[in-house]
Amino acid sequence: MRRDLADARMGRLVGADGRTYSPRGATLQRPQVEALVESGSPVVTYLPGGRLLWCDEDDAWPAWADARTAPEAVTASRWESPDGALLVVLVWHG
């Protein structure tokens, strides 16, 4: 499912699953992102202009594939909710 996240801010966001996520740790490397996506973690893409797009289930892997092959720089980070749910945030630098 892909869904826009309205009224979200970088630094803390409420996902489409209703959890509040905050950044944890440094920038992720490609194998780390792939492991998280493979394990079922949702992906949020932060696009130029401030649009946040939530991708879970079947849409998380295609979102990561788009980031891997993008001509623009894309950084990835791990975010976590208080109950331990993980999220990958991809920031497109355009």
Confidence (pLDDT) at 57: 82
Q: Which secondary structure element, helix H or strand E, spans residue 35, and what is its range?
A: helix 30-38
Residue 8: pLDDT above 80?
no
End-to-end CA distance of the chain: 25
Reduced to 3 states (helix: H, G, I; strand: E, B; else coil), residue 20 is strand
62 vs 59: CA distance, rounded Å: 5
Nearest to 46 by CA among 18, 79, 84, 83: 79
> pLDDT (tens digit, 9 = 90+) per residue, 48-82?
887 888 999 889 999 999 999 999 999 999 999 99
pLDDT at 47: 81
The pLDDT of residue 6: 54
Q: How many residues does the chain have?
A: 94
